[in-house]
Amino acid sequence: MPRKPDPKNGYLELHDGYYRVTMGVPVKLRPLLGYRLKQALGTKSLLSANVLKRPIVKEFKARIDKAWTTLGDQPRSEQAEALKWAGIISDARQRNDPDLDAILAAVKLRTYEIRLDGATTRYVDVDDGESLEQHEEAVPHEDALRRSADFAAVALATATPIAAHHADFIKRTKIKERSLKDDTRALQILLKWCVERGIEPYLERITTKVAVRFVDEIEDYTGLGWASCTKYIGRLRAYWKHLVKRTPIETNVWVGLSLNKPTTEPDEEERPFTEAEVQRLFMGTSDRAMLDVMLVAALTGARLDAVIDLRVGECIDGWFTFKPQKKEKTFRDVPIHPDLREVVVRRAEGKSFDEDLFPEWPGPRAKGSVRERSSYFSKRFTKYRRDLGVDDVVEGRRRSLVNFHSFRRWFITKAERAGVDGDLLAAIVGHKRSGLTLGRYSAGPEMKAAKIAVAKVRLPPLDGSPVVEARPLMPRRRRIAPP
């Protein structure tokens, strides 16, 4: 059994021979404060450390309390109580409740109770004109004054915690669970930014100018790229849209705000694999677990997660049935390429229809994880690709210009060059087809036509023979090596 720390020496730990104050942060507050709060004391003396720690422990506790106020999710807190009062008052006003004045009086009394919490007493002289008498007078603590003011503001609905309605928003938002994490992350970024900028975490304080300032700073503040920051701004815009419909907030301050998309040179865009790169990838390993996934992706144009998730029953009757990806609304059937038949037969042998086609790549083990099942394979493939020298890194870009998705780009490129009709190709890979006629009213092309189209895509020779790269109509800009 682990030893319990001495309470006299609480919140202290040795670090490089010197004491420092350390305090754990509740799980819900870690996105705002980190896992632990720490501050060095600059002393090796335990006696001195126990004296020096007192104001720091008090400050840390105040930071945690402030973070709870910011997040608005502390159970049995004064803010939670104030939100209940706000709901009661709102209902009473909507029903023209005759007891409304009594309810408001109760809130006033409760505010007074909080104001006097921990107050000290002093005696003051009162001259009534005839005699001088001493009367007791309460002296509230500064913290109690702040708490009472916050309580009254929330209870009387003049200040609404930013996160107060977020749980209801999440409940009503019908998107993938993994995407819901973006909503939570966007809110956490905004709340943390408010704390560090000294902006009260209330909806009423997020004016258009505050929102503009947040958008102006988000890239530097988070260190994230344009795409991620744009995504988070979009999720905040969606939350405010929910608030405008259901709360006294009347304006969606995020409407019309966006980040300027950085310009990308043609030769800095992510690209298909070349024929030589495809040859190297398929000849670089004998690991069937890796090769088979690559083969299915290369000869169907399917996304990685759709391939990894295939079950045996989704590979019968001569076609794959891929689950919806991105903006797809329904499952999609794609003919099994002649070069994939052996892979399917071998992997399906002796298995029931509901078993995985690729059991070597299981999903995340952590309970409640929303990471895609393909995440483990993706990491392994990235290392494998880099080890083979199949890489295309541009300074200032986080991702290589070639990645697993380059198989999808390669398939589309090869099919186009083989003369496959553009709308048929779009249907095969799950892209939106052109126009209202084909995009909405058509039931899609025939499987027979799709089988012919898929079979036109051929892998480069996998025996090491030289490959000749076709010259594209729109070549990437030549890179001239420096002298």
Q: Determine, yes or no, domain membership for 248.
A: yes
Q: Which two tokens stand for residue 458?
A: 């051929």
Residue-range definition of the domain harbouring residue 66: 7-71
Residues 253 and 276 in one domain: no
Which is nearest to 80 in space by CA: 158, 156, 161, 26?
Answer: 161
pLDDT of residue 71: 66
Residues 253 and 296 in one domain: no
CATH number at residue 249: 1.10.150
Residues 254 and 277 in one domain: no
Q: What is the pLDDT of residues 81-138, one digit of tens each?
A: 887 888 888 888 888 888 888 988 988 898 888 888 888 878 777 766 676 776 777 8
Q: Determine, yes or no, domain membership for 282.
A: yes
pLDDT of residue 387: 93
- What's the burial of 178, exposed, middle or buried (CB within 10 Å: 0-12/13-18/19+)? exposed
Residues 294 and 431 in one domain: yes
Lowest mean pLDDT across 59-68, 72-81, 184-193? 72-81
Residues 241 and 319 in one domain: no
Residues 313 and 416 in one domain: yes
Q: What is the pLDDT of residues 425-470, one digit of tens each?
A: 888 888 777 765 555 556 567 788 889 989 999 999 998 888 888 8
Q: Which two tokens stand for residue 145?
A: 């004054």
CATH number at residue 288: 1.10.443.10
Mean of the per-residue pLDDT values of the chain: 85
Q: What is the pLDDT of residues 211-266, one digit of tens each?
A: 999 999 999 999 988 889 999 999 999 999 999 998 888 999 999 999 998 876 66
pLDDT of residue 211: 96
Residue 362's pLDDT band (boundaries 50, 70, 90)? Answer: confident
pLDDT of residue 113: 86
Which is nearest to 449 in space by CA: 474, 424, 481, 475?
Answer: 424
Q: Which residue has the higher pLDDT, 67 or 411?
A: 411
Is the per-residue pLDDT at 3 higher than 60?
no
Residues 302 and 367 in one domain: yes
pLDDT of residue 80: 80
pLDDT of residue 269: 82
Residues 386 and 311 in one domain: yes
- What's the burial of 366, exposed, middle or buried (CB within 10 Å: 0-12/13-18/19+)? exposed
Is the per-residue pLDDT at 207 higher than 60?
yes
Q: What is the pLDDT of residues 388-434, one digit of tens each?
A: 999 988 876 778 889 999 999 999 999 999 998 888 888 888 877 77
Contacts of 98 (CB under 8 A, 6+ apart): none
Given 220, 236, 262, which residue is the final one in a domain? 262
User: Which residue is it, tokens 């986080």?
Assistant: 398
Given 240, 262, 284, which residue is the final one in a domain? 262
Q: Determine, yes or no, domain membership for 100.
A: no
Burial 268-306 (b: 16+ CB within 10 A, else e): beebbbbbebbbbbbebeeeeebbbbbbbbbbbbbbbbb
Instruction: Give dist(CA 27, CA 13) in Å, integer.
Output: 21
Crossing angle for the helix pair 226-246 and 208-222, to the nearest 10 degrees: 150
pLDDT of residue 1: 44
Q: Determine, yes or no, domain membership for 81.
A: no
Contacts of 141 (CB under 8 A, 6+ apart): 117, 118, 119, 120
Residues 321 and 434 in one domain: yes
Residues 446 and 346 in one domain: yes
**Number of domains within the chain:** 3
Residues 317 and 418 in one domain: yes
Q: Determine, yes or no, domain membership for 33.
A: yes
Q: Determine, yes or no, domain membership for 334.
A: yes
Q: Determine, yes or no, domain membership for 250.
A: yes
Residue 160's pLDDT band (boundaries 50, 70, 90)? Answer: confident
pLDDT of residue 436: 59
Given 234, 262, 290, which residue is the final one in a domain? 262
Residues 295 and 202 in one domain: no
Mean of the pLDDT values across residues 366-394?
A: 84
Is the per-residue pLDDT at 157 higher than 90?
no
Lowest mean pLDDT across 290-294, 317-321, 335-339, 441-445? 441-445
Q: Determine, yes or no, domain membership for 284.
A: yes
Strand, coil or helix: what is 447? Answer: helix
| C-alpha distances out from residue 197 to 192, 214, 221, 420, Å | 9, 10, 11, 56
